[in-house]
Amino acid sequence: MTIQQLIDMAKQGELKNLAVANDTNAILGFLNLGLIELYKRFPIDLNEVVITLGEDGDVDNPYTLISDELYEMPSDFMWLTSAYGEAPEYSNETVVDLPVNEEDDPLSVNMVSWNTLQIPLTTDGAYVGVIYTASPAVYTDTDLAETLPIPPQMVEALLHYIGYRAHNAVTGEISSENTTHYTRFEASCSRIEQKGMITVDDISMDSRVSDRGFV
């Protein structure tokens, strides 16, 4: 399904008889907000970046070295899911999980701001992998032919969210219409969770990093 097809569905349904149905840019704004809400609730897109300690990132690993210990995460970063480092030579494992935000652990990596990671490990050239929840792209009127970046089972929830935002924009206050749409949005999300309609990613570190520089 394309962005345009989703907008057409909203116009014929949730936005019918609303003036905003004729404002594509406004609908895109509601759609973008709805995508962010769905990406917050479900593991739609988990990304990985492998940090080479003491070095700046590149196209494949787009982080930014700020100082000796501070690294700015990629632009689509929302929050950290997990981190891992190289296993000791005597270990049978390829990588080891690293603690996150544990002040008393010298191996801990720490989020010092929402998108800045502190890695106190001092071995230049060593690797630290980061798994994070990525944000969706922001769509404009030049992207109407793009494929909607969610699975089909989430289309209903997104339409309800667009309806909620549109009715709220019209009234400027809580009303029965926008409350109804938000309730339907919540119900649709709950059905996805309860029926197991999306697979939760059980992160296997060894399989993720076998070709990313870890040995």
Mean pLDDT over 103-109 rounds to: 89
| Percent of the chain predicted with pLDDT > 70 | 88
Give kind and range of the element (H or E) at residue 64: strand 64-65
Lowest mean pLDDT across 9-13, 73-77, 198-202: 198-202
Q: What is the pLDDT of residue 203?
A: 46
User: Model confidence at 90, in pLDDT bands (50, 70, 90)?
Assistant: confident
Encode pLDDT of 46-56 as tens digits. 999 999 999 99
What lies within 8 Å, CB to CB, of 125 at 6+ separation is 52, 53, 54, 55
Do the beta carbons of residue 129 and residue 95 sit within 8 Å?
yes
pTM: 0.86
Question: Within 13 Å, how many C-alpha atoms sit on residue 101's CB side?
Answer: 9
User: Model confidence at 210, in pLDDT bands (50, 70, 90)?
Assistant: very low
Encode pLDDT of 159-197 as tens digits. 999 999 998 887 655 556 668 889 999 999 999 999 888
Q: Is pLDDT above 50 for 41?
A: yes
Mean pLDDT over 83-87 rounds to: 90
HEC per residue, the chain: CEHHHHHHHHHHCCCCCCHHHHCHHHHHHHHHHHHHHHHHHCCCCEEEEEEECCCCCCCCCCCEECCCCEEECCCCEEEEEEEEEECCCCCCCCEEEECECCCCCCCCEEEEECCEEECCCCCCCCEEEEEEEECCCCCCCCCCCCECCCCHHHHHHHHHHHHHHHHHHHHCCCCHHHHHHHHHHHHHHHHHHHCCCCCCCCCCHHHHHCCCCCC
The pLDDT mean for the chain works out to 89
